[in-house]
Amino acid sequence: MKRLSIVVAVVAPLLLLLVLGSATANPTARRVKQVSRPIAAVAMDGPRLAYVTDDNGVRVWNVRTGATTQLRGGAGRYMNYPLIPEVAIAGTRVAWITVSINGNSLETWARLYARSLSDRTAKRVESAFRRDGIGDGTVEIWDGNWLTGLVGSGNVLALSRWTTTPTADLRGMRISRQRLSVLDPRRPVLRVIASGDRSIASASADRGRVAVLRTDDTVGIYSAAGALLKQITPTSAQEIAYGGDRLVVLTHAKTLEVYDGKSGALLHTWPVQTKAPYLQPGNLRAYGRIALYFADSRRLVQRMHLVDLATGKQLVLPPNSHPGASANAAVGPLGVVYSVNTYRYGSSPKRAGTLVFEPTARVLALIRRG
C-alpha cells in the first residue's frame, strides 16, 4: 500500500516556469493558467485537465479552448479534511476520492465521487472505512477497507479495492477481497472486472486498458472488460506508468525499464539520476516517449526529471522545497502538465497556483538541448 500513497502539498519556484517558457520561439502552443488556490492534484486525458485545489475544489481546464468547468466548488480556504488526494478524468467524466481522518486510531473514510461535464451535481459512488489497528509497535496495521488507485483514460475510470485485517499475532495484515473495478459510464456504480491477489493495484490507464502493479512485482495489463491482455515481469518494480503502448517501470535498483506494452519486450533500461537512498512513491508518470519522475536530493526537496525514453537523455528542473510534487504533474498524448504553487506569508500573505501545459514536441526539444 505504500506505493499508492500520495502527498498533496507542493511548493515550487517560479523559475520552473521560466525554464520551460523561454525554451522555444513558439509561445502560442504553451498554455498557462493562473488559479486562485494552490494545486493539490492533477490528471489529464487528451486536451482536458482535471485539477484539485487545496480548498477541495475540482475543475476541468481544456488546454485547447481555454474553457474551465467547475465540478466541485472550493471552500475558499485551505482544508485539512476532507482531502482530495486522487482525481482522474476519462473524456468528459471525472472522478475523485475524498479522504477524512479522525481520532488517535486514524479512523479514515474514503469516498468516491463522479460527475460528467454535463451533470448538474456529483454523485457518491462508493465508500470505504478503515482504522489503524493495534499491533506490536513495529508494524503499522490497518483494519478495514481500501479505495484507491484511481486512474482514467478514454472511456475508462478504474480503481482498486481490498480489505485488510490484523493477523492473530498482531504482527501483520491479511489482504482479502481484492478487486479491480471500473466505473459504469451510464450510472454511478462500480463493476468488478478482475479479482484476487493479482488484480491490485491499478496504476495507470490508457485507451481502454488498465495497468496493474501486483504485490509480486509483476504487471498485468487488462482490458475494460477484465481480459488479461499482457503480463510483464520486470526485474523488480517499485512503481509503474503506462501510456502510448509503453510501460515504464521504476525498479528497486533505481533504473527505468521501458517495455513495449503490446509485445512485452524490454526496449531500454535507463538510470534514475539521484543520490537519494529511495524515491517517493507516486512519483512516476509516462506516456509514449516521455516520462517524468521526482527525486529527493535531500530531505524535503524534490527535483522533476523529464526523460526521453527513446534516448535516455534527461532534463532536471529546479527543485521543489516540499515533497509531493508528483501529484501535481501528468503526461499525456498531447504533452506534459505541472503546477507551480505560491505560498507567501507575512504582511501580504498569498496562496495561489499556476498550471503549465507544455506540448510533447517542446518537451522533447527541451530535453534534447539539455
Q: Distance of CA 363 to CAs 164, 241, 243, Å?
A: 42, 18, 17
pLDDT at 131 over 90: yes
> What pLDDT shows up at residue 17?
34
Region 279-287 average pLDDT: 79
Residues 249 and 284: their CA atoms lie apart, in Å, by 9
The domain ranges of the chain are: 2-369
Residues 83 and 89: their CA atoms lie apart, in Å, by 18
Region 182-186 average pLDDT: 94
pTM above 0.85, yes or no: yes
pLDDT at 303 over 80: no
Contact (CB, 8 A) for 55 and 98: no
> What pLDDT shows up at residue 67?
95
Q: How many residues does the chain have?
A: 370
Burial grade of 283 (CB within 10 A; 0-12, 13-18, 19 or more): buried
Tell me which residue of 238, 179, 173, 235 sits closest to 210, measured CA to CA: 179
> What pLDDT shows up at residue 280?
62
Phi, psi (deg, nearest 5) at residue 38: -60, 150
Region 100-127 average pLDDT: 95
> What pLDDT shows up at residue 14?
30
Of 4-13, 20-29, 163-172, 340-349, which one has max mean pLDDT? 163-172
Phi, psi (deg, nearest 5) at residue 360: -55, -45
**Which of 186-190, 250-254, 350-354 has the weakest average pLDDT?**
350-354
Architecture of the domain made up of 2-369:
7 Propeller (2.130)
> What pLDDT shows up at residue 147?
97
> What pLDDT shows up at residue 327?
57
What are the respective helix, strand and coil percentages of the chain, to the nearest 5?
A: 5, 55, 40
**Which of 51-55, 232-236, 346-350 has the weakest average pLDDT?**
346-350
Helix (H) or strand (E) holding 49: strand 48-53
Q: Distance of CA 228 to CAs 26, 36, 137, 148, 155, Å?
A: 43, 43, 39, 21, 18
Tell me which residue of 60, 63, 51, 46 sits closest to 8, measured CA to CA: 51
> What pLDDT shows up at residue 19?
35
Region 212-229 average pLDDT: 96
